[in-house]
Structures are given as structure tokens and as C-alpha cells.
Copies of this chain bind each other. A is one copy, B any other.
Amino acid sequence: MGIFVKEFLKTKGFKMTPQRELIFRSFFEMGEHVSVDELYDKVRQEDSSVGYATVWRNLKLICKVGLAEEVNIGDGITRYDRVTRVPHGHLFCTSCKTVTEITVEQLVGLLSQTAKTRGFVPESFKIEVQGVCKECRGAAGEKDKSGASAGG
């Protein structure tokens, strides 16, 4: 990013500041499912004077202008994913809690049709699969915490 995002923001009526640039850059350098705290930590590594609220507000701004969107991986913390061009889904391992991405282009095509038959114009997709990953199956999954199963 850099000049492009700056110009982009300007057209939207937002100003560019050193903090904002740092926050935006940091966010796009990170992976998926970024939380406010994680981004805050990363930002503070470069400039420890940046406030939490500033990070939070800029993360919201990034979403507002359509460069990212909120995601929920079920831990009660709001996370953010930059909007990718390639539709993809997530595999949530119920054992080790890892999140893996998968491409689902074919699915999205079908899903679009399904939605359109309802008069619904799709904008973005969120596809999640809960289950047990390869590694945890190998480990026989002894990470279960309670007596009752939580599966669906």
C-alpha cells in the first residue's frame, strides 16, 4: 500500500496521518483474523505512542472503506480480514482451534445462484466448516475438555 490508499482515502474525505499510515501498513502486513490487540501490539513496536483507540478506529475505517471485514472465529473477540479478491472459506479445527483457509470458487458460484433465485444480490461470502484437522485426527484428539460433546 502507500500512495494508493492515501489517495483513495482522500477521495473519501479522510486525512492521512503518520499513525494512520502505520496502522494501515501494519494491518496489511499481518495475516488473517487480526484482532485489535494484535494490531495494537504490532503498531506499538514501531511507534509506542499510538493509542489503542486510534488503532481501533482505524481498523473500523479500514472496514468502512471496504478494505477489510470483521470475522468471528468464536472466541468472543472481533477480528479483521482484509478483503481478498479470491473467494475463500475457513476450516475451523474444534480440537486445536487452528483456522485454515480453503478456496471455494466453485461453491461461491453455486451460492450466488442460490441467493439470486431469492432476489438477493450477493456482495460477499463467508463459508466456515467446523471439524477436526489432519493433525488432530492423528493425535486422536485428546484435547477434549468436558464430558459432553460440543459438536453439531
Contact = CB atoms under 8 A, between A and B. Distances in A.
- Copies of this protein in the assembly total 2
B64 A148 contact: yes
Contacts of A78: 76
Contact of A151 (B100, B124, B129, B134): B124
B125 A130 contact: yes
Interface residues of A, number: 51
A30 interface: no
Interface of A: 12-13, 63-66, 69-70, 72, 74, 76, 78, 83, 89, 91, 93-94, 100, 102, 104, 106-107, 110-111, 114-115, 118-134, 137, 146-152
Complex A-B, nearest 10 residue pairs according to Cβ-Cβ distance, in ascending order: A124-B152, A119-B134, A126-B128, A72-B72, A122-B131, A123-B131, A124-B130, A83-B152, A64-B148, A121-B132
